[in-house]
């Protein structure tokens, strides 16, 4: 199952709305004979990719299949994975965690056992739940998985005030190793959200130029329509402006909402199929998300610097669940329900 989880981590982001599943097949002698990950949307699921990778088909007889998430049992873009497993000759199936999707939930397990396969559920369950947290949150909470992220100084500031800024460009507190990690985080999420003041002050690109991975969809929270069309992020082909319609270019989509509350934004994001969002700021936007309680994880980059004055970072009332040192900086992680 460890190998299956590693496979799952390598699944492409664009497989959504299918989850990023990993699958490994072992023959009766304990040798790995096949493995696979979910293909981009419309392509085969991890189980079918793994089954198709087996060169000696005779070795599938009596083999064991390890998969991070319960196999699907319904017809969609592709036939059911449970059917492919049953027809393959595999006799034992080890599942990391169940799928809460009503079309799947326990149905895959039921079909496998009904056809005489031996099924074990909950193998390395915690690790599989962690890997599939975005998909599982989307299915159970009917909203994207939300991560809040910011950097702050020892004296609790995120940045100088606008009046103290010398020019319109991103103000960076953290080190290059942390910047690389942030770009890795961006590559793991479907979208990235910032407030309009950050657009006006920093003119950010919100891409993954320091990491190999896809750029997230930029979302700009602008309930009063203050954004400017010259910001670099509007060049993204799927950029979204959240606010009253203003002229930002033909490629920019607009979400015009009855109310610009966090709850309404997330309802819209869910309807649009956005699986996860990294909320990067600024302070006003982060505080709104924090106070709403509609978040799953917070990552605070603590830098060994002081500003003495500026924009205060949001206040957290608890200690981090865990921390890590990266270069000269420390990253504190907070999990929902513990704050």
Catalytic positions, written as ranges:
47
Q: Residue 127 belongs to what H/E stretch?
A: helix 125-131
Structure tokens at 150: 């910011």
Which residues lie below 8 Å from residue 89, measured CB to CB, with a gap of 6+? Answer: 60, 61, 62, 63
Write the CA distances from 105 to 43, 109, 129, 238, integer angstroms. 21, 8, 15, 32
**Through-space distance between the first and last CA atoms of the chain, rounded to whole angstroms:** 32
Task: Judge contact between 98 and 107, C-beta under 8 A.
Answer: no
Longest CA pairwise span in the chain (Å): 72
Beta-bridge mates of residue 281 = 194
The whole-angstrom separation of Cα 75 and Cα 79 is 5
Helix (H, G, I), strand (E, B) or coil at 56: coil
**Residue of 241, 240, 239, 244 whose CA lies nearest to 224:** 244
Structure tokens at 192: 């990235």
With b for 16 or more beta-carbon neighbours within 10 A and e for fewer, the 135-160 pattern comes to bbbbbeeebbbbbbbbbbbeeebbbb
Q: What is the CA radius of gyration of the chain?
A: 22
The whole-angstrom separation of Cα 144 and Cα 131 is 15
Residue whose structure tokens are 């559920």? 121
């Amino acid at each position: 199952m460890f190998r299956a989880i590693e496979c799952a981590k390598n699944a492409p982001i664009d497989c959504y709305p299918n989850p990023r599943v990993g699958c490994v097949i072992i023959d009766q002698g304990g040798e790995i004979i096949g493995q696979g990950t979910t293909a981009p949307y419309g392509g085969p699921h991890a189980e079918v990719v793994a089954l198709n990778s087996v060169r000696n088909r005779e070795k599938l007889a009596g083999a064991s299949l390890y998969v991070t998430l319960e196999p699907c049992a319904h017809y969609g873009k592709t036939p059911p994975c449970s059917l492919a497993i049953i027809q393959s000759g595999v006799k034992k199936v080890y599942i990391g965690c169940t799928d809460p999707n009503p079309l799947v939930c326990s149905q895959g397990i039921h079909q496998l056992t009904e056809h005489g396969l031996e099924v074990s559920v909950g193998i390395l369950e915690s690790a599989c739940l962690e890997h599939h947290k975005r998909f599982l949150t989307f299915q159970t909470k009917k909203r994207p998985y939300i991560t809040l992220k910011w950097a702050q100084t020892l004296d609790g500031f995120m940045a100088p005030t606008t009046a103290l800024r010398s020019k319109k460009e991103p103000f960076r507190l953290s080190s290059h190793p942390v910047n690389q990690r942030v770009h890795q985080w961006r590559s793991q999420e479907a979208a990235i959200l910032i407030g309009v003041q950050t657009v006006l002050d920093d003119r950010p690109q919100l891409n993954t130029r320091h990491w190999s991975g896809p750029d997230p969809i930029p979302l700009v929270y602008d309930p009063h329509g203050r954004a400017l069309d010259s910001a670099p992020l509007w060049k993204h082909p799927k950029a979204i402006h959240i606010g009253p319609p203003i002229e930002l270019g033909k490629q920019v989509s607009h979400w015009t909402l009855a109310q610009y509350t966090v709850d309404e934004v997330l309802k819209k994001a869910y309807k649009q199929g956005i699986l996860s969002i990294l909320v990067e700021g600024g302070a006003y936007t982060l505080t709104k998300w924090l106070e709403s309680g509609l978040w799953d994880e917070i990552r605070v980059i603590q830098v060994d610097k002081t500003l003495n004055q500026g924009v205060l970072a949001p206040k957290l009332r608890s200690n981090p669940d865990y921390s890590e040192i990266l270069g000269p900086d420390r990253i504190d992680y907070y999990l929902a329900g513990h704050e």
